[in-house]
Amino acid sequence: MTHSVKRHENLAIIGGKPLFSECLHVGRPNIGNQRRLMSRLKDMLDRRWLTNNGLYVKEFEKQVAKFLDVKHCIAMCNGTVALEIAVRALGMQGEVIIPSFTFVATAHCLQWQGISPVFADIDPQDFTIDPVAIKKLITPKTTGIIGVHLWGMPCHMEALEKISAEYGIKLLYDASHAFGNSYRGRMIGGFGSAEVFSFHATKIINTFEGGAIVTNDDDLAARLRLMKNFGFKGMDNVVYLGTNGKMNEASAAMGLTSLEDIEQFIEANHRNYAEYRRCLEGIPGISLLGYDENEKNNFQYVVIEIDSHEAGLDRDELLSVLQAENVMARRYFYPGCHRMEPYRSLFPNASLWLSETEKKALRVICLPNGTAVRRKDVRAICGLIRLALENAATLRRRIALKN
């Protein structure tokens, strides 16, 4: 889909038209083999089984569990509902510690259920929740921790496991960004009490819209299966409190098709990431978040941090230049959950203990990646960044006039 973008001519640095005639977006969907997808959809329609734990949902759950080397995968309608159900199934209540530097769903899944999210600061090296900060926030009301593998970067899992055991609190992971990644040779998915994945259209594999909870806990898995389907056990026997969190058959068909092509998606991401790394090297004030190439990675998120003193432009000024040229980079995750409602009103002083979160929220940009991005696009984007910084003083004057 092409989106029209109004170009601010006073930000232009390379001529009269945007560099890219069609927008390059962060999170543009990867599309697998369309012939196989359409075949599955036709089969689904011919059988007239569209939802309620059909053939494709069962197969998708089986293949995800196999891919991640876990015992159970419970497919859900989306990642947010999956988080909500996982939190309830684990008996979390009172206060649960999470990072503020994450997508707001991580906080909403708690607040929606009357649980207070307690925001912890992040490790500035990998942007994941800081175990030292967690320990300072534990109170008698604390019942759990949700670690977020931000941009696929694994949390400090040994430290979090130790804290969980020491204080007798639950440990859940939001692994929305981390499908296909590993930690010390183990696939992310088998850590903590459970891990939650998103299969939203923007993720490495998608089900149009969807999510899943994966776990090695048999009892928890049984409870989750009840809870995602109103608590039904059998045709008309409700034995547990539940809601409607089911994935439909069309979504599962898309998920299976995506999963079959995941290596192709990762290869494209890795190729682009390597090109970004090569082309951005040596640009003053720009640092690229690196992946541990000894582990498996999906390489989906290309994250740069801008030091405005060295670069000559701050993050938002550089973002304005990129977007004027139809490079739809994003501020992930700005401004931090603690500066969004209702949390801004509930916790007005949270910024006092979130210094790294505050700093990173003003310095980070995610650049376009995925199968829709070509190597020459990456080179052009990096060239644009280099040119913008070389002309930083002029651009700053133009931005000031515009504003």
How many Cβ atoms from other residues are within 10 Å of residue 232's Cβ?
16
What is the predicted pLDDT for the residue at 403? 63
What average pLDDT is seen over the chain?
94
Q: What is the mean pLDDT of residues 191-197?
A: 98
What is the predicted pLDDT for the residue at 16? 61
pLDDT (tens digit, 9 = 90+) per residue, 250-259? 999 999 999 9
The CATH code that applies to domain 34-260 is 3.40.640.10
Structure tokens at 203: 């993720």
pTM of the model: 0.93
3-class state of residue 137 by DSSP: helix
What is the predicted pLDDT for the residue at 14? 45
Which residue carries 């899992």 as its tokens? 157
Numbered ranges of CATH 3.90.1150.10 in the chain: 262-402
The CATH class for the domain spanning 262-402 reads alpha beta
What is the predicted pLDDT for the residue at 19? 81
Q: 333: closest CA among 184, 127, 163, 171?
A: 127
- At residue 112, does pLDDT exceed 50? yes
Q: What is the mean pLDDT of residues 240-251?
A: 97
What is the predicted pLDDT for the residue at 17? 76
pLDDT (tens digit, 9 = 90+) per residue, 260-301? 999 999 999 999 999 999 999 999 999 999 999 999 999 999
- At residue 121, does pLDDT exceed 70? yes
Query: CA torsion 374→376→380→381, rounded to 10°?
Result: 30
Q: Would you place residue 337 in the very low, low, confident or very high pLDDT band (cuts 50, 70, 90)? A: very high
Q: At what angle do helices 34-47 and 249-260 cross, to 10 degrees?
A: 150
Q: Would you place residue 322 in the very low, low, confident or very high pLDDT band (cuts 50, 70, 90)? A: very high
- Higher per-residue pLDDT: 299 or 401: 299
pLDDT (tens digit, 9 = 90+) per residue, 125-147? 999 999 999 999 999 999 999 99
- At residue 12, does pLDDT exceed 70? no
Cβ contact 272:373 at 8 Å: yes
What is the predicted pLDDT for the residue at 177? 98
- At residue 183, does pLDDT exceed 70? yes
Numbered ranges of CATH 3.40.640.10 in the chain: 34-260
